[in-house]
Amino acid sequence: MNEPRLGLAAHSARRRAELVRAAYELVTTRGYRAIGVDDIVLRAGVSHGTFYNYFANKRDILDAVLDHCFDVIRERLIGEDAIPASLDEFRARFGRIVDRCYDLVAGEPGLVNFLLFEAASIDDQVIERVMHNAQIDGAAAAQEVGLGIEHGYLDPRLDTRIAGEVMLSVLMSALLAAVHSGSVGLTRERVRTQLTDFLARALGVEP
């Protein structure tokens, strides 16, 4: 009846994902400390005990929530852009990503706030987890830099790994700007222009 025919493993994975999803929504809206296992299982529609079949304890699900956060961020920011073939396309692509930062902050209120603000204060392992995810994205960014070098519009002398991290840092600035979009002189357009200019100057081949 319920979700008929599902391999046990698949069912289990779905259950787990439901719990993570529920926890994600609660954590980003109300904060990790403010919610209880009660809230999570209530929202997921399972019993108290079931939670402990999937996670060792409350802290344990936080890792999965953090991973989910980055999944959401990637999904929302990357988009389905074509691989840029010129510096202008590279610049345009990054400009769209900056715009998507604003959309992300608007569409998932609390997500960025949670990562920037509460997460780090939970414990040191959170920071490790965030770093771990940042490394994954850094590697992806490094790969894009590599492509850019191959296409000839990024400076071939760049260390792709470092350049990838710079790209992430700039993205971080965009997210920060989006969160504090009220701050002085930080219109969306200015942020987009300044950050894309910065990246193009910093990574592009010299003219």
Residue 11 or 180 having the CB closest to a second copy: 180
- Provide, rounded to whole angstroms, the least separation between the CB of residue 31 and a second copy: 5
Q: Which long-range contacts (CB under 8 A, 24 or more apart) does 164-169 make?
A: 164/138, 164/139, 164/140, 165/138, 165/141, 166/199, 166/202, 166/203, 167/94, 167/141, 167/199, 167/203, 168/134, 168/137, 168/138, 168/141
Helix axes of 8-30 and 58-78: crossing angle, nearest 10 degrees = 80
The partner in contact with residue 161, picked from a second copy, DNA, none with C-beta cut-offs of 5 to 8 angstroms by kind, is none
- How many residues touch DNA under the rule CB under 7 A: the total is 23
Q: Which of 58, 76, 151, 161 binds DNA (CB under 7 A)?
A: 58
Q: Which tokens belong to 111?
A: 């997500």
Q: Nearer Cβ to a second copy, position 113 or 135?
A: 113
8 binds, among a second copy, DNA, none (CB under 5 to 8 A by kind): DNA
State the residues that interact with a second copy by CB under 8 A: 30-31, 33-34, 113, 116-118, 121, 166, 169-170, 172-173, 176, 180, 182-186, 198
**Least distance to a second copy, CB of residue 82, Å:** 26
Under the binding rule (CB under 7 A), the answer on residue 123 touching DNA is no
Q: Does 56 bind DNA (CB under 7 A)?
A: yes
Q: Is 50 in the site for DNA (CB under 7 A)?
A: yes
- Neighbouring C-beta atoms of residue 167, cutoff 10 Å: 22
Closest CA to 22 of 61, 52, 48, 73: 61
Q: Binding DNA by CB under 7 A: which of 22, 24, 25, 51?
A: 51
Q: How far is the CB of 182 from DNA (least distance, A)?
A: 32
CA atoms lying within 13 Å on the CB side of residue 43? 17
- Which structure tokens are listed for 92? 């345009």
Q: Which does 53 bind (CB under 5 to 8 A by kind): a second copy, DNA, none?
A: DNA
Buried b / exposed e along 11-27 (16+ C-beta atoms within 10 A):
eeeebbebbbbbbbbbb
23-31, 57-65, 146-154, 157-165 -> range binding DNA (CB under 7 A): 57-65
Report yes or no: 170 and 201 within 8 Å, Cβ to Cβ.
Answer: no
Site for DNA, rule CB under 7 A: 2, 8-9, 11-12, 15, 35-38, 46-54, 56-59
